[in-house]
A and B are shown apart, each in its own frame.
Chain A
Amino acid sequence: MASVELRNVTKRFGAFTAVEGVDLSIRDRELVVFVGPSGCGKSTLLRMIAGLESITSGELLISGRPANQVAAADRGIAMVFQSYALYPHMTVRENMGFALRMLGTDRAEIERRVRAAAATLQLEGLLDRRPKELSGGQRQRVAIGRAITREPDVFLFDEPLSNLDAGLRAQMRVEIARLHRQLDTTMIYVTHDQVEAMTLAERIVVLNGGRIEQQGAPLELYERPANRFVAGFLGQPRMNFVPLDGTGGQVASWLELLAPPKRSATLGVRPDGFEIYAAPVAGTVPAEVVLVEQLGNVSLVHLRIDGLPDLLTVELRDKSDLRPGDSVQLRPQPRRSHVFDSSGARIDWS
């Protein structure tokens, strides 16, 4: 059981700064997800915690003890890699027991722990197979099993599900969440998939350009994004952004409706935060339907407002009768509208 603390941690590769001045405190038994676009520094951060990457400056503490100079193997962590990194020449049993064997653990104890991990992950029948005889999902389980047998203080997951197909990914996601409850250990999970982040995390850390943009509980980040980046990154389909001025006043009625403190601001509304009307009502703006995507339970309507650079996506419950070319009236729900200033920071007002 362990806490992990990063104090002003920076990583440079030559002139390139991959991670800059990150301060982060991960509590014991917490499941924290690092999420961000590729190249945001999330994997580098994880690898620094693992000890696979040196820390250029700043301090890393594991269970309150400085760990910058501690060898990777001695940090009490286990890592699950994106490519699984199973040893191809060893059976599942040997793969899972390898770290213990290297530590000189007694054979009976290795066997006991391997069996326990195999039972947890439903791998009992596969112990004598080689990795190449396993499916992707099974390999992923073995990789997790290999981490479990070590009984580490901290589990690190580096995009563990990104090589799996969508169905399996959803299933493994549930399994990892269950595992976290069962093992009750600190886990740090890296992903670029915001759905994984939203469903797994107790706390999400959104990274961009090597810095932390925002951290907090998934719904907190979803409902009160600190800036335009976080707002745009979390949520599927993406949030719509509309400049409230400077487009010729097409959305002047929205400006009136919402009355934000600054006029030169960007409005952010998630696709389910709009109302569509057939005829003009207070605060609506005319829009033209460009495309309707019927997803069964919901429909996504793509709309064009004359003069706006981007199409807007609106999510409607159930099927939609709208057709491309239809004219509608559009209005954001004030309670579900976010406003960001020109630097991208959130503006709160009521």
Chain B
Amino acid sequence: MNEMTDAMTLAEFATLLDRYGPDIAVWPLETRTAAREAARQAEAQALLAEAERLDRMLDAMTPPAPSADLEARVQALAATQTGGHWVWMMFARPVWRPALFAAAMLVGVYLGAATLPTAFATADEGFDFATVAGGGGALGSLDIVEE
């Protein structure tokens, strides 16, 4: 006989018990009222007791606390980061990236301009803007090459 209540069967109760453990207070909100009602029945109480016993057995496995040596080593990680690395970390923050990108662009443009091949400059000296503009009309009076 699996029927516990109109709202929750013993099978449903057992499934929820396996999923969420014996503390009904942490079960999904919509199941708690029906689960508490179901838990009044003897079969459900036996399942609850079994789940509580399992939790107590699991609690016997107590892990060690971190040793003082480990705590010191981990704290020392911060101390070793002081100095240059902290400066790097500050500039590596996302908020600085646009500024770093812009700075890199400026440096690139400057270096590019400063290292233009001399041949370009020589060719420009002989470039006739007037010819390109249509044979001297509007720009005919401007002697750009001479300037």
Do A and B originate from a single complex?
Answer: no
User: Which residues of B does A touch, CB under 8 Å?
Assistant: none
